[in-house]
Chains A and B, each alone.
Chain A
C-alpha cells in the first residue's frame, strides 16, 4: 500500500516540478555571442566596441591597402605585372570592366559601411546617455572613422569633386543611425557629391570638436589625425584657404617632424606595433597578424623571406620608368625607397612596404606630415587659396631638404613644381590616382600607353555591388 502511494507521489511530484520550471526552456542562452541589448553596458564594453570599429577601418578594403593598390592599377605610376592579375578581381579593375561582379569591390563597399555602422552604434549608445561618464573622445573617434570611410568610398565609387562646378551627381549613401532591424526601412538613396563631401567635412569637424587635445597615440585617431584628414578632404574639395590653415595647425602642433634619419626612411611608410616610433605619422594602422593580414606588402614589395634570393619576389606593382625619371640622382627617395629586382635589374620596385617583420604585417602609415606640407604649399598657390607664398615655400623646402635635393628659391616656386613634388613624395601611397582626378588630368598608363583615359571617364569609377542595387531600390548604379 505504501509502495503504491509513493508511486503516486512520484507522478505528482514530476508534474509539479515540470510545470514550475517549464518557461525556462523557452530561453536561448548564448555563450559565444552577446545579445544585442547586453552588448554595451559599461565603459569597458564601449572601449571594446571602439576597437571593433577600428577593426572594420583597418580592413584591407578600407584603409588597409587595397585602395592604394587599386589606385596604382588605374593611374600612371606603376608598371603592372599583368600576369599577376586575377579574374573576377584585379584583372577587371585594371581593364576597367567593373560591371562584372567582383568580390574585391563588393568587400570594398561592404567593409566601409561595416565601419560606418559600427561607428554609428557607438555614437548612438553614447547619445542615449545610459553610460555614466564623459565619452567625448570615443565619440570623436567614431565620427572620424565614419568620415574616413565615406571619403574612401567617395574617391573610388563617385566622380571627383568638381571645384567650382556641378556636384549634384550621385555620391555615397549617408547613414546617420545604426542599423538595428531589417529588412524594412534600410533602402536609402545616394546623397549628391556635394552633400556627401559636406557630410565628411561636418563629421570630421564634429570629431575635432570632441577629441581630446591632450591625447595622441599614432594607432588611434587623435585630434591631429582628424585635422589631417580634414585638411586632405578640404584640399580635394577645393577649400584651399581652410585646408591650408588646418594643415598648418597640424604642422605647428610641435608633435610631429619629418624623418631626417635616412636609414629609417623606409620606416616612414610602415612600421610595426613593436617599433611604433615614426615621427611623421599622423595615423598609423597598427594591426597585428591576428587582426588582419593586409596584402599591401605582397602587391608592392619584392622582399620575400628567402635565404637564397631575398629580393626575388614578383609583386604586381613595379615602378614605372617614368616615375624613376622624375627624381634627381641625389634624391634620397630614389636612393633609399626604390631598388632594382635581383633577377631582372631592369625592373624597379618600391621599398616603401619592405619592412617585413615575421608574424607582423607592415603597419601602414595612412596619413603623414609630408602630405600636410604639400597641402599647404599647393593650396596657398592655388586659385582661391590664401596666396601665402612664403608659407608655401617653407613647406616645399622642408620636403625638398629632407629628400636631399635643392629647394631652390621662393621666387622660383610654381604650382607645377609643387604638384610634381607631391607625385615624387607620395608615389605608391594611394595618392596618385585620386590626385590626377583632382587635377583633372587625363590618365595614360605605362602598360597601356596608346590609350588616354579622361580623368572623369565613367569606366574609372567602380560599380556598386549588385547586392546593394538589388536590395536597395532607391540606389542609383554608376553608369
Chain B
C-alpha cells in the first residue's frame, strides 16, 4: 500500500518534469451532466471527481460539466461544494461514448455545523473541529461603523475581550484572548491575514497621546471572516507565537458567475460618547471661597493668578457676565464620517476575482482630528489546469491620520482639566485669556501620520495525485509610517519657539510557506487530513527621526531648518526571524470520532543561543455523540458533540534582542564618546510557555433552532519573562529570566436561538465568558517591583501579586468619613501600637479615615501610610460578553449588539484631582456632597479635608462595570420590482449607530478605557486599569445606501 503511493509520487515528480503526456492508452469514454441547487438553477464551481481516479472537473457557469478520458466501467461520481452536503452518483461509462448523468441536485447543509472554519494552514468543517475557534462573519464586521476590524470583533466571540483604549480613530485596542497571558512580555494575539503574519503593535510618538494601530490599515469591508483561535489544538500550530491566541483574517475572494458590482456609501456624525459631570463656573468660584473660609486661608485677591495669567478679578467679571466655559465643548465639535466603497466580484470556472476600493474620511469629535483611508483590495484565483491553481491577494492602503494631542500629551487632555471660570478669550474676543490653552494646542499643532501599507501574497497549488496537494505561498507585509509634526510657536508668548519633527518607521516583513497536504478517505470510514509545512518569516523595523526647534522664519517647517544646537535625531533597526516546521494530522472515523495531533518546531532570532529551537505539540479529540445508535431515540436533541484538547504554545512577544548582551555608546566624559556594558546576555532566554487544556460540549436542539456550546479551559503559563533583580554591586540592575508563572481558567458559553423563523424572523446570539487570571509565581519580586510609572511606589495602578490577577490594584483601603471626633491608636507595621505620642492620633468629624492592613482605623498622616496597601478590586471583569438580536420582517431588518463587562475596577488617579485634590482644576459635582454635621451620609470628607493634596486610596478605585448598546442597525431592502425598474440589481438603505447608550456607575469619562500604554507590553499587562486623562469613545450615527448592479 505504502509502496504503491511512493511509486506514484515518484512517477508524479517525473510527470511534472516532462510535462503532460498521454499515458492513457486504454479505452475511455466521457461523462457529462449538470449540477443544480434546490431551486433547480445551475451551480457553478462544484468539484466533481471520479472515485478511485484522479479524474475530475468543475462545473461551469450554467452548472454543466464534462469529464473526458474516463476508463470504461461502472464509476461513482463525487460532488463537493462548500456549504453543501457531499453527493454521490453512479454511472456506467462505455468506451468511446458520452454517458449523460441525470442532473444532480445538491442540498445546502443547513446546519451551521457544516460551516467551514479557517484554521491555521487550512480549513476544516466546524463539525470536525477538535479545537476551540470562534468565527466572526463578514456581515458582523462590515455592519460596524468603526474604522478598524479589531474593534468590530467586540462582543462577537466568547473568550475575546476587546477594549478600545482611545476614542480617536486609528488608535490601538487592547485585545485579550482568554485572559492576560503574560507579565513582562506582550499579551496581544498574533494576527495573520491570508496566511501572512502582520505587524500589529502600535507605532508612533506615544508622548503626544496615543500611538496608531497598524490594524487600522486593513479595511473591515474586505474581510470575509475572522477566526479566533483559542485553545491549544488551534493555536499550537502557530508554535512560539500561539500562546496569546491567534486571529486569522480571511479576505473576500471572487465567486464565479455573473459579475457582481456593489456600491456602498454612508455618511454620519461623530460625537463624544460620554462626558463627566463638572461644576459650573460660579459653583467653582464659590467652592474656592468656601474652602478658603473653612481652612482659614487668605481669600483670593483680585490679582490672584488663577491659571496662566487669568486673575480672580477677570474670572469674576467673566462669571458675572454669565460666562462658564465648557472646555470639552470648546475643543470638541460634531464630527463627520463618510465612507464610499465599490467592489466587483465574479469570474468563470477558471478565474475568479474580487476587487474593491474604499475611501473613508472621519473627522473626529476633537478639533482637527481627522482620519482618512484609501484602501484597495485585489484577490485573484486562477485554476490553470486540473492540477495547478495559483492566485494572489493584494491589499494596498494609504491613510492620513491627523492626530491631535491628547491625554498627558496636552490638547484634549488639558481641556478635561480646566476650570469653567477660565474664559477662552480675553474681552477683545481675539486673544486667548490663557497663553497656554488647549485650543491653541489643538489648532496650531500639526501631527500628521501618513501610512502606506501593503499586505499581499502569491500562492500556487499543485494537486500531485488525488488528495495530495503541494502549496507554496510567499507573502509580504510592508508598512511605512511617516509622522510629520509641527508645533507652531505660541504667538502670545514672545519667547516661545516653533518645533518640528519628522519621524519615519518602516516595517518589512515576509513569510514563505511551503507545504504538502493530504486528504484521503479509506474504506469509506477512515478519513485522514494531514499537513506538513515549512515556513520562514522575517521582519525588520527601521526607524529614524529628526527633531528641531527655534526657526528663523515662521515659514520654515523642516526640523533641520531649526536652530543647530536644538536639533536632535535618532535612528534604529530591529529585526527578528522565525524558521518553522509544521505538522498536523486529523483523523476521523465513521464521521463521528475525531482525533488530531499537531506539532510545530520553531527557531527564532529572539531566543537565546542555548534555546534556539522549541517544539509545540498538541492533541485533540472529538466525539459526535448524537450520531451514536443510543442517541437515536433522544428527542429534541439533534446534535451533541464533545471535544477536548491539550497542548503547548509559546509567546515570543519579547524584545528582539532580549537574550543578547550588549555594550552601548554614550557621551561619556570630557566631551568624548565612551562605551560600556549595558545588558547582560542570557543565553538560555526562551519563549514563554502556555499549556492549555480545553473541553467543550456543543449542542443543537430542535433541528438547531437552539444551539449552544459550553467550554472550560485551563491555561497554565510558565517561564514568563521577568526582570530578575541583580545585586547592584554586580554593575547591573537586572536580567531577563524565564521565571514567572500564572494561569487563566474559565468558562465560555455561547448560545444561538432562532426565536421566530416564519415571516417575522428573530434570532439571538449570546456569548459570555467567565475568566479568572491568577499569578502564581513572581520569583519573589515584590508588588512595587512592577511599578510602571515610578510613582514613588504609591500610585494606585496595577501591580503583580501572587494569588491575584496581573495588574491588580494595590491601595490603602478607604474608610469613608469619620462621623465623630475620636482618638485612635496608631499601629506600626507589626501591628503594635507606637510608643509615646506617636501612639495615638486625633480624628475630627468629617475627616477621611483609612484602614491599615490589620483593619485598624488610621489617618492619612500615618508615618507608614502606603505600607498599608492591600490588593483591592479587580482589573479584569468577573464576566463579559455580547448579545446580538436580529430581526427581519419582509424587507426590513434590524439588529443590535449589547456588550457588557461586569466586576472590574479602574483606579482613576484623575478622580483625586477632580474631588478636591487640586481645586485649581475642574471639579466633579460630587465634591459638593462634602460632609457637614447636617450631611453625614457621604463618602466625601468635609471641605477642610477634601481639598488640598489627597492620598491614593481605594476611594478612587471605581467599579467599571458597564452595559453598552454597542451597535444598532436598521436596514430596508428596496423591493426588487422597484429596483429593476431603474435597472439595478439590488438596493438597500440603512441606518446605523454605535455607542448609543451606556449604563455604568463609573464617574470618569468612559469605563471602556485603558491607560495610554502599549497594550502589547509589560505596562499594557500591568497598568492598563489605571487610566490617566484618556480620550473617551465616540458615538456615531450614520445613514447609508448600498446598490448592486
Contact = CB atoms under 8 A, between A and B. Distances in A.
Interface in A446-479: 465, 467-468, 470-472, 475
Interface stretch (B665-673, B983-991, B1034-1042): B665-673
Contact of B675 (A49, A109, A117): A49
List 7 tightest A-B contacts by C-beta distance, closest first: A117-B731, A25-B577, A51-B674, A52-B674, A52-B676, A472-B727, A55-B668
A53 interface: yes
Q: How large is the interface on B (under 10, 10 to 19, 20 to 34, 35 or more residues)?
A: 35 or more
Given A15-B472, A28-B656, A181-B681, A50 B729 contact: no
Contact of B668 (A180, A182, A291): A291
Among B460, B534, B672, chain A packs the most CB atoms within 10 A around the CB of B672
B671 A88 contact: no
B729 A109 contact: yes
B664 to A, nearest CB: 5
Contacts of B20: 1, 4
Interface string B362-380: 0000000000000000000
A33 B669 CA distance: 19
B572 A25 contact: no
B663 interface: yes
A55 B666 contact: yes
Given A7-B460, A36-B677, A290 B671 contact: yes
Interface stretch (A183-191, A262-270, A296-304, A372-380): A183-191
A118 B725 contact: no
Contacts of A291: 667-671
B663 A51 contact: no
Contacts of A10: 460
Given A15-B514, A25-B536, A35-B661, A468 B727 contact: yes
Contact of B731 (A57, A88, A116): A116
A175 B731 CA distance: 10
Nearest to B724: A183
A10 B512 CA distance: 13
B603 interface: yes
8 contacts: A10-B460, A29-B573, A30-B662, A31-B573, A118-B676, A173-B727, A180-B680, A287-B670
Contacts of B677: 36, 39, 117-118, 121, 178-179
A235 interface: no
B670 to A, nearest CB: 5
Given A7-B460, A31-B572, A183 B726 contact: yes
A14 interface: yes
B729 A188 contact: yes
A120 B603 CA distance: 35
A472 B680 contact: no
Interface string A225-242: 000000000000000000
Given A25-B577, A33-B662, A173-B727, 6 more contacts: A4-B19, A88-B792, A109-B729, A120-B731, A178-B731, A182-B730
Interface of A: 1, 3-5, 7-8, 10-11, 14-15, 18-19, 22-36, 39, 45, 48-58, 88, 101, 106, 109-110, 113-114, 116-118, 120-121, 173, 175, 178-183, 186-188, 219, 273, 286-288, 290-292, 465, 467-468, 470-472, 475
Contacts of B657: 28, 30, 33
Interface string B636-678: 0000000000000000000011001111111111111111111
Nearest to A190: B729
A60 B79 CA distance: 81
Nearest to A37: B661
Contacts of A470: 725, 780
B762 interface: no
B603 to A, nearest CB: 5
Interface string B758-787: 000000000000000000000010000000
Contacts of B499: none
Contact of B725 (A11, A181, A467): A467
A186 B727 CA distance: 7
B680 A7 contact: no
Contacts of A19: 534
Nearest to A186: B730
Among A45, A57, A118, chain B packs the most CB atoms within 10 A around the CB of A118
B732 interface: yes
B675 A48 contact: yes
A470 B470 CA distance: 57
A58 B668 CA distance: 9
Given A35-B662, A51-B669, A475-B727, A182 B674 contact: no
Given A11-B460, A15-B514, A35-B660, A467 B669 contact: no
B579 interface: yes
Interface in B908-955: none
Contacts of B735: 182-183
Given A7-B388, A18-B512, A55 B676 contact: yes
B949 to A, nearest CB: 12
Contact of B732 (A7, A50, A182): A182
B660 A30 contact: yes
B537 interface: yes
Contacts of B579: 22-23, 25-26
B432 interface: no
Contacts of A18: 512, 514, 534, 536
Interface in B671-724: 671-682, 724
A117 B670 contact: no
Contacts of A88: 792
B674 A29 contact: no
B434 interface: no
B821 interface: no
A136 to B, nearest CB: 20
Contact of A26 (B388, B577, B679): B577
